[in-house]
Homo-oligomer: A and B are copies of this chain.
């Protein structure tokens, strides 16, 4: 005989179904790493998106706002404020684009370069910590499989 449903209650929550879904696992893992990132990068006053923007400028001097938006899936109106804030902190500088007077090339200042050297070093430590329970091989495998999920036709 089935138990009277209205009197049932839950002692331990069964999450096994959700844990069988890739989206659930990917989101939980991403949130765990991002939470750690937020804590460790707070000293530099950089959110994940600021770090991503500065990192792309570091490795792509002269990149335009439009290129940043495409690479990071940010909408142009939402990037404006970030770029302004980073410029006001004198971490980046705008220079005219050599071939297109509509566009602006973005570059790191000396201060920006110094900050990013420290920040990328911290990111590496953070990376090691977040994936600390994985072997080097597992880490490489996880990276490859994640990219197979989100990079189309590779």
Task: Name A's B-contacting residues (CB within 8 A).
Answer: 5-10, 13-34, 37, 48, 52, 55-56, 58-64, 67, 70-71, 73, 95-99, 105, 107, 120, 123, 127, 130-131, 133-134, 138-139, 141-143, 145-150
Contacts and interface: CB of A to CB of B under 8 A. Distances in A.
Secondary structure call for the A interface: helix
A8 B134 CA distance: 40
27 contacts: A5-B95, A8-B62, A8-B98, A9-B105, A10-B63, A10-B64, A13-B60, A14-B59, A16-B59, A18-B52, A18-B56, A19-B147, A22-B33, A22-B131, A22-B146, A23-B30, A23-B34, A25-B147, A25-B150, A27-B33, A29-B30, A29-B146, A29-B147, A32-B150, A134-B148, A142-B145, A142-B149
B8 A105 contact: yes
Contacts of A133: 148-149
A26 B23 contact: no
A16 B60 CA distance: 11
Nearest to A143: B25
A18 B105 contact: no
A133 B153 CA distance: 9
Given A10-B63, A55-B17, A141 B145 contact: yes
Contacts of A73: 31
Nearest to A26: B30
B21 A127 contact: yes
